[in-house]
Each structure stands twice: as C-alpha cells, then as structure tokens.
Structure 1
Amino acid sequence: MTPFSLAFYVDVVATGTVLGLRPTDSPDHVTDVLGAGFGENNFGDRSMFRDYGLAEFFWDRAAVDHPWSGRHFTLQVHRLAYRDRTLVNETLRARYGRFTPRLRFEKLQRLLERRGIPLLEIPQDPANAPYYRTFWQPDSQVAVSVIGTYGEYSTPDNLRVGDVYSINAPMTADEVEWRRARVR
C-alpha cells in the first residue's frame, strides 16, 4: 500500500482525475465532491477558477448566458511546503490522510513505473528551462512540473531540485507536439 499523499498523486497521474473529477466537470459537480470551502476568482464574465488550496479547477464560457465549460485543473503541490494544513481540502484529507510538505519526483515516478504508468519528459518552455522540467503521462494527459535546477526564481517555497512543483491536466498530445516543435 502506498502511504499518505503518495497514493493521491499516483491516482491523479494514473487517471487524470481528482477524486474522479475530470477537468471538464462543471463547477457544481466539483463543489459536490470537494465541498464549498473554496475561493472563487472571476476574470470578467467568461472565465473563473475555484481554489481549494492544493487543487484548483478552471472554467470558461462563450457568454454570460452560456454554461461553464471545464478547461483544466492544477494541483499546486509547492504550496504544501508552507506546512499549512488548511491547504489540503477536508475531503482529500479524509480519503488520503496526511499530506507531506514536499513530493519527490523520483518517488512518484518509481511508484507509477511499478504500475506500468510511464512518464515521458517533454520540452520545457525556453523561458523556464532549465529551472523546471516537465513530464507527461500520455494516457491520462497529466503533466508533472519538477524543479530542475537551482536559480534565482526556480526554487520557490523552499523546494529542492527534484521536488514536484505542480501537476495539471489535461495536457493534450497536440500541446506536447507543439512544445517539441518549438525546440527543434
């Protein structure tokens, strides 16, 4: 059995969901699962995100009278380095227990490989290279951002080289190909 929060991260990378929530799920459905303890941020009438501390879900819509369309979610793993228990939603804590302040990428990768779930390194945006590295799981379309090296802005929140910074989904094959074409 995988201890503590590691099981959560393995589940997210393997399935591309957070407690079964897909990036495309509605705001109401996300609230039904994660609860009403969130901060809501609106950018005009056409985009918003809900911040649950560790997890953030993003939506947009074509017009005010249209329904929200889910775009992506991000797990802000780096926030856990603040050691603030309130950053982990009650629902997640009830399911997965204690969350550690840092997630070592090599440990996550090893657990995923044991389950036959590969992570492929993909090119990083040149503005962030070499400070961050990005790994992608093609089946679940999840991307994992990892601290790549020390630099003035690359080691926030007391993270170390090899710590996971964030996890987000979806990252489509088209986006991965676009990144690869940019560095050719």
Structure 2
Amino acid sequence: MDFFTDFVVTGAVGGADATCTPAEVTALLGGGFVENLTGPGQLLRCYDLVELAWQRDTAGDPWQGLYVTVQAHRLDAPLSVDGLCAALDRTGFPLVEVAPDGVGCRRLVRADSRVGVLADEATGQVLQMTAPAWFAPGPRGEPAPWSRNAGRDRVRHLAGLRAVPEREAWARRRQPEESDEAARWWWSLWVACRQRIPAEGERSAGLDRSAWQEAALWLLGKCETAGVLDRAEAVCEIARYGLLAPDAAVRACLEAIPVSRADVATRETTPYTEEHLVAVNASRAAKRLSLAAGPLLPRVGDPELRAEVRAWLDLRPRLM
C-alpha cells in the first residue's frame, strides 16, 4: 500500500516521473526493464507493474515523456480502491472521484500530482494508476453542455468577433448564471477552440490564425476568472498552442513561476507531507512552466530569457 499511496502523492516511482528522460529513468530504477521501440517516434519501457512512455518527432530529437502508469491489475492480490482511498485519507492526500467513464470504470484523481486512478465499478479493484491523468476533477472532468457541432459553431463565431466588447456582449447573453455551470461552459468553449487553432499560414473556418489566437487568449482569461485553470495552467496552454510570440510566451512562463530558484522546494529539501503542500505545488508549477518554455528557446531572441529558462531546466530533475 505504501508504494501505491506514494505514487498518488508524488506522481513518481522511485523519483522517476513523466518528465524524466530514458537515461534518468535507468539511473533511478535500474536496467531491469523490457523495452519496445515503435519506429523512431515511440518508446515504451516496462518495469514489472510500472510502464513509462516517450515520444519524439524524428530519430534525432530528444525523447519527450508521455506518462507513467502503474498497472495494478497485474497484481496477484487485487488492490481495493476503498482501501487505497482510506490510506490516502489518513495521509491527508485524498482522492476526488469524477464522473464514471461509462464503460464500467470509476475514475478518481489527485489534482496536484495529476495522478488518475481507474477502478472496476463492479469489483472495486484498482486497475490502473497514471500520471499525468487524461481526466480531471470539476468542470474539466464533465461532459460538454452541448454537442460537438454546437461547440464548433460557437467558437467559430467567437473567433470571428475581433473586438473584445463584442465577445463580452455575446458571452453575457449566453453564460449560465450558476458558477459551476459557468465554469463548465467556459472550459468547453476553450476545448472546442484549441481543437481548431490552425497552424502557421493556415486558416480554419475561413479565419486566419491570428483571429483564433485572439479568441483563444480571451477564452483562457475567462477560464482563469471562472476558476477552471490557475495562472500556471493557463500559461502552459498559451505556450503549448503558440498563442504568443516565443519571447512573450517564455516571459509569461517565467512570470507565472510562483517561487524563486533560491527558494524552490526540491526532493532533497522538502518531504511530500500535508504541511508542505503549498511549497510542493509551487515546485510542481515551476517544473511545468519551465518545461513548457523549453521547446520555445530556439526561437527566443532575448539571451536573459534563454539563460533563466535553462537555469530552471537544470533544476528540473530535483523539482517535485
């Protein structure tokens, strides 16, 4: 049980998480693994119950971590989800249950470590634990309040409104009054929008990329106001979808880091305990934001920005 609760709390196995390189994982977990390389672009490594995956665009690119999964269904004796929840409650790191997946599984998540747990609805057996999870608590874990086509039509209309007052007036007429419903509404608009942002030089729904970028930035701001995303998460989305120029996006990432490099919590200095949770989560935010900025560095002109991001990336293996 200690192994499983530690994974939920930390999102890592023996210090290895989804941000680690294959070489770092070998240094932490050893060479006792089975590896499967699918062409030049996908790598899967298995340590008994634990699987780690990476991807890259071409054979010359560095591997980018995708996930760490604990395949609990392989255990000889089933792991009870109720027992896991009780153990986590005692440590002060409870799981939150989100809507079931509709095919017989319960879904639970620890949002700060981004660990998701799947359990069999009928037997209560934990099947799988993954970080980062593809589902989330709150509005992000709920279905959209409209059909896919309706969401597409709404964001296409929004992207065509180039003036902010026009978007605000459109939203006032349609936004739900209840706060939780409003949060789900804004999140669903953002999801529909990010799926349609065209690549550089391309158009979507007859609109150029700049129109979609403006709408996307406005929607992310609304998601922050509604409490669906915090600032670090919103800035990571900005970097991921190229919504700002590289220098501006990297600057936003650095400004969103909630702690200095001198004061950031590390695995050597700070235990994963309830009383240190604020420091732990600040360290996690620093890791996510520096990793979001990293791919942009080749296109960043400001040498001070490049140096600061590289300094954070050097710290990355020690961050929580």
Aligned to 1:107: 83
Distance apart, 1:183 and its partner CA: 8.1
Q: Give the structure 2 partner of residue 89 of structure 1.
A: none
Tell me: CA distance 1:177–1:42, structure 2 relative to 1, closer, same or farther (3 Å): farther
**Number of the residue aligned with 1:156:** none
- Report deviation, 1:175: 8.8
Inter-partner Cα distance in structure 2 for 1:183 and 1:102: 37
Q: Does 1:170 align with 2:132?
A: yes
SS of the equivalent of 1:181 reads coil
- Tell me whether 1:132 sits opposite 2:105 in the alignment: yes
Contact persistence 2:72–2:128 (CA under 8 A):
yes
How far apart, CA to CA, are the structure 2 residues paired with 1:175 and 1:67? 32
The one of the two structures with greater contact order (alpha-carbon pairs below 8 A, sep at least 6) is 1
Match of 1:38 in 2: 33
State the alpha-carbon separation in 2 of the partners of residues 64 and 136 from structure 1: 34
| 1:18-62 deviation per Cα after TM superposition (whole angstroms, max 9, x unaligned) | 111111100111111211111111222111110111000000012
Give the drift of 1:10. Answer: 0.8
Distance (whole Å) between structure 2 residues aligned to residue 174 and residue 114 of structure 1: 22
Check the 8 A contact 1:138/1:173 in 2, yes or no.
no
What's the C-alpha RMSD, in Å, of the aligned pairs? Answer: 2.1
Aligned to 2:93: 117
The answer (yes or no) to whether the contact 1:56–1:73 under 8 Å persists in 2 is yes
Q: What code does the residue aligned with 1:60 have? A: Q
* SS, match of residue 111 in structure 1: helix
Aligned to 1:144: 117
Alignment: residue pair count: 146
More helix by share: 2
Counterpart residue identity of residue 102, structure 1:
P
Determine which structure has more spread, i.e. the larger CA radius of gyration. Answer: 2
Cα deviation for residue 179 of structure 1 reads: 3.9
- Could you tell me whether the CA contact under 8 Å between 2:36 and 2:44 is conserved in 1? yes
Secondary structure of residue in 2 paired with 1:146? strand
Amino acid at match of 2:132: P
Q: Normalization by structure 2: what TM-score?
A: 0.43
Aligned-partner Cα distance in 1 for 2:61–2:93: 37
Question: CA–CA distance in 2 between the matches of 1:48 and 1:40?
Answer: 7
Higher strand share: 1
TM-score, scaled to structure 1: 0.73
Within 1, Cα distance between the matches of 2:86 and 2:6?
Answer: 14
Return the alpha-carbon distance in structure 1 between the equivalents of residues 110 and 99 of structure 2.
Answer: 14
Q: Which residue of 2 aligns with 1:64?
A: 59
User: What is aligned with 2:190?
Assistant: none
**Contact 1:124–1:179 under 8 Å retained in 2:** no
Deviating runs (4+, > 2 A) in structure 1?
123-126, 172-179, 181-184
Partner secondary structure for residue 143 of structure 1: strand
For residues 48 and 175 of structure 1, what CA distance do their matches in structure 2 show?
29
